[in-house]
Structure 1
Amino acid sequence: MPIGIIKLSGLKITDPTRPVIADLSSKVKAISSLYSWVTFDEDSVTLDASGLIQAVTDQSGNGRGFAQATAAYRPKWVDGVVNDRPVARFAGSAASSVFNRLDFTGALPSSGDLTKIAVLKLASTAGGVQQILTDLVPAATKHVLQVNNATLQTANGNTSGNLSYPTALDASAFHVVAGSQDFADKLARVKLDEGAVTSGAMTATGFNTTMYLGASETPTYPLAGDVAEVLVFNADLLADAHADDLAAVMAYLQARFAI
């Protein structure tokens, strides 16, 4: 009698964490404020002939992913980098005016609060300002998640400067970095991994509807590093009122990437 073999696509039988990750993922998708969610899994990305990322689909179901029409701006897709997961590799250099960028294919909400979360490993902590997720347009920056050398920051652009996290990033490891802006209490917040949330007063009353991953509109503040996942929420997930939602996101990311 022949023995049947069932192949489960995308599931490694030797890795018992996959079903757990699927369960944690479903809890993240159930968060009502989830606005955009991109992973760089093979079935989520569209690559060009050079292995560069043309587009990445939105896993939230909202149809708000990222894309890049200009080949020279596309980051590289690299498989098996963190916990056997792929990343988008950004190779920016302010010194040589080189940058990679993925443009948001949707639009940020015009009201409510905002949280940007990314799983990131820097190529170096000595790169000056490196923008991760920004809604920069000329002379109108409102909310940027960035690093300045090894310092994680949320930038309020031309309005009231930067809010910095007290602990530096280690360029030898992947981190979960998060920044939020709460327009009701005029606070920005920033969080690194499992550290406490740092908050500070900001005076911006809104954010621009465009958003970029990996750089601004010019190569002034390019990112040099690997991005494994990005989530955007139309709520201040770093505020106490959303502690349960933030815990669900952190549990999922820590299990998925073993960080």
Structure 2
Amino acid sequence: MSLFKVDIVPTEPDPRLVFAPNYGEDIPKLPGMWSWHSLQRRFVTLDSSSNIESVADRSGNGRTLGGVSAAARPAFVDEQINGRGVARFAGLQGLIYQGDHPTGAYTNILVVKPQASTTTGTIFGQTTSSNNNHRSYLDPNTLAFHHQAQNGVLAAGDANANAGVAAADEWHILISSFNGAANTVKAKVDAQAVAVVTKTGLTAINSLTNYYGCGNFPSGVPASGFKGDGAEMIVMSVDLLDPSQAETLAFLAGYFETAFSKTI
């Protein structure tokens, strides 16, 4: 017979273990995941010039990136960040998806390395007809990261969240979001604080003649002069920077730290 009594007291699980496991190569399909594009070679289709013709959607939702002419395709360069490939944009190249987009709320996540010579323009954009454009862009002089939602036209009705500066020739995780119910536009660079702008009357994205993607865009949507590398793009149909999404954001933080050695 044992002379000792041991009381087992249940404890709450460490959220870092629950939501940030080692998913270096894969992550499950998270609630609200709209599309997921990785520039790893196995997901990329190249043309005869070794430029990117298309990038498969890892989310399983079928939203393949591509849709540009041969002359506008970015180059594929393998083994650039933790053994992963990248799309190399030289100012006039782009990768787009033409079709639907989250309507009431969304989050865009980009893993990019901008060059110092990046010019004003969209690094990630969504658009509808009637100039209802939403875009994330880098300032050409400071590389400050902005996310902008337009109130119908590019004018004083816009909401522009300035998240701070991204250093040239370094890898960054850029996050931008829109929440139509809360009338907020948000932006974030790496582990920096979230920039929030609240403004009523902002135009939500709809699915009429809609595009989203990275780099230069076709006629009629936001132009871009982005120069640099892109390694990953995730689109969510929720405002991931809202406190209600903290668990999902923590889960993705573990993935990005493992895959890219970057913290958010």
State the structure with more CA Rg.
Answer: 2
Counterpart in the other structure of 2:127: 136
Q: Which moved more, 1:187-196 or 1:210-219?
A: 210-219
User: What amino acid is aligned across from residue 112 of structure 1 in structure 2?
Assistant: G
| Alpha-carbon separation, structure 2, partners of 1:217 and 1:67 | 11
In structure 2, the gaps of 5 or more residues are 1-20
**Secondary structure, aligned partner of 1:89:** strand
User: What amino acid is aligned across from residue 173 of structure 2 in structure 1?
Assistant: V
Would you say how many aligned residue pairs link Structure 1 and Structure 2? 229
Counterpart in the other structure of 2:259: 256
| Alpha-carbon separation, structure 2, partners of 1:254 and 1:141 | 34
User: What amino acid is aligned across from residue 201 of structure 1 in structure 2?
Assistant: T
User: What amino acid is aligned across from residue 75 of structure 1 in structure 2?
Assistant: P
Counterpart in the other structure of 2:84: 85
**Counterpart mapping for 1:82-231 below 5 A:** 82-92=81-91, 99-109=92-102, 111-124=103-116, 126-137=117-128, 140-149=131-140, 150-157=143-150, 158=154, 159-165=157-163, 167-202=164-199, 203-209=201-207, 210=210, 211-218=212-219, 220-231=223-234
The answer on whether the counterparts of 1:116 and 1:232 sit within 8 Å (CA) in structure 2 is yes
The answer on whether the counterparts of 1:145 and 1:179 sit within 8 Å (CA) in structure 2 is yes
**Secondary structure, aligned partner of 2:42:** coil
> 1:21, CA displacement in angstroms?
2.4
Pairwise CA RMSD of aligned residues?
2.0
* Superposition TM-score, scaled by structure 1 size: 0.82
The answer on whether the counterparts of 2:105 and 2:239 sit within 8 Å (CA) in structure 1 is yes
Q: CA offsets, 1:9-54, max 9 Å, x none?
A: xxxxxxxxxx93258x43xx33210000000111101100111000
> 1:213, CA displacement in angstroms?
1.7
Counterpart in the other structure of 1:14: none
The answer on whether the counterparts of 2:67 and 2:98 sit within 8 Å (CA) in structure 1 is no
Q: CA offsets, 1:162-209, max 9 Å, x none?
A: 2211x3110121000010000011001111111121101133231143
User: What amino acid is aligned across from residue 237 of structure 2 in structure 1?
Assistant: N
> Percent identity over the alignment?
29
